Amino acid sequence: MPELPEVETIRRDLAASLYGRRVTGVRVYHDDLILGGTSRRTFQRSVRGREIGRLQRRAKHLLFSLHPPGDLGSEPERIMRVQLRMTGQFALGVRRPDGKAFRHPGIDLALDDGRTLFYDDVRRLGGFDLFTPEGWARQSARLGPEPLAAGFTAGTLERLLAHVRAPLKNALLDQRRLAGIGNIYASEALHRAGIDPRRPGGSLSRVETQRLQRAIRAVLRAALEKSGTTVRDYRTVNGGSGSFQHELRVYGREGGRCRRCGAAVSRIVQAGRSSFFCGSCQR
């Protein structure tokens, strides 16, 4: 599933191109891509004719602000949330790309400049839903802090992990505790910090918490610089790949050598997810 760096990369790719564009047509190929109990007809009617404002990201969610046209000024703003999940991808252009990655049409948004925003999703695990600004604010309040925000300090992380008995890796994946981190960057941050993923979340010393906070921010920023990590399905807009996979230290490298100490990288399963770590230098 795309994590914070991947979703933020897509947001940046789309933001300047879509700002101020009006949606002139909506085509939904599969009803199950419309989430939250909204019907296909209601979704199409609610999106068609609206102007795209700011694109934002919250955790792993991509958020489109949709403003009513001038002659419908009494209608409220809508927030269109997109969850990419495992295989959701975007393309933007006058025609659908011909590549293998874009042969599973999901939703098309025609724009007033002649281009179309294409959404493909081979496994149809992602989708779109609509909120009022107030409704989305309530949803957002259920998520943890953003790890790249200025307010995410070592003290913040210490409070989030205090008294947590669950393994640290599991705690980092809990979106209610910390927003946007998934399997890849949790493993990588813990390796950078030299901390075993199996330790209880509340067992960290203040120094270890400081190391982990710095490691989380460092690995997310490094991944953003490389447009994210393409291991299998993730693509940037129009089918490009991220390149941070070439810099992964432990994730997906079971049996390989730790880039810090040379010991073998191990893999275990925690809460149904693979965790990769070095048993020699992660304590």
pLDDT digit string (tens) for 60-101?
Answer: 999 999 999 865 556 789 999 999 999 999 999 998 887 776
Asked if 125 and 167 sit in the same domain, the reply is: no
Report how far residue 18's alpha carbon sits from residue 82's, in angstroms, rounded to the nearest whole number. 15
Residue 22: CA count within 13 A, CB half-sphere: 7
What pLDDT is recorded for position 73?
Answer: 54
Confirm if 234 and 2 have CB atoms less than 8 A apart: yes
Question: What is the separation of C-alpha 142 from the centre of its chain, rounded to a whole number of angstroms?
Answer: 16
Residue of 11, 57, 60, 192 with catalytic role: 60
Domain check: are 114 and 235 in the same one?
Answer: no
Which of the listed residues 75, 106, 140 is the one where a domain comes to its end? 140
Residues 219 and 126 in one domain: no
16 in a domain, yes or no? Answer: yes
CA distance 50 to 52: 7
Give pLDDT, residue 71. 53
Instruction: Show which of 89, 112, 140 is a domain's final residue.
Output: 140
Please indicate, yes or no, whether residues 119 and 161 belong to a single structural domain of this protein.
no
Please report whether residue 270 resides in a domain.
no
2 assigned to active site: yes
pLDDT of res. 99: 73
Query: What CATH number corresponds to the domain at position 130?
Result: 3.20.190.10
9 with 122, same domain: the answer is: yes
| 88 and 161 share one domain | no
33 found inside a domain: yes
Q: CA–CA distance from 64 to each of 20, 26, 88 (Å)?
A: 11, 15, 16
Q: Does residue 265 sit within a domain?
A: no
Q: How many domains does the chain have?
A: 2
CATH assignment of the domain containing 194: 1.10.8.50
- Do 10 and 116 lie in one domain? The reply is yes
Do both 64 and 173 map to the same domain?
no
Is pTM beyond 0.85? Reply is yes
- Co-location of 123 and 230 in the same domain: no
Same domain, 14 and 56: yes
The question of whether 60 is a catalytic residue gets the answer yes
Enter the DSSP assignment of 249. Answer: S
Final residue of a structural domain among 82, 109, 140: 140
233 three-state secondary structure: coil
Is there a single domain that holds both residue 206 and residue 101? no
Annotated catalytic residue, options 2, 5, 167, 197: 2
Q: Same domain, yes or no, for 158 and 132?
A: no
Task: Clarify whether 273 is annotated catalytic.
Answer: yes
| Run means of pLDDT, 10 residues per run, the chain, 283 residues | 96 96 97 95 96 97 92 76 96 86 90 97 96 97 98 98 97 98 98 98 98 98 98 92 97 96 97 96 96
In a domain, 145, yes or no: no
51-58: strand order across its sheet: 51-58, 61-67, 78-83, 127-131
Give phi and psi for 20, each to the nearest 5.
Answer: 85, -5
Range(s) of the domain holding residue 80: 4-140
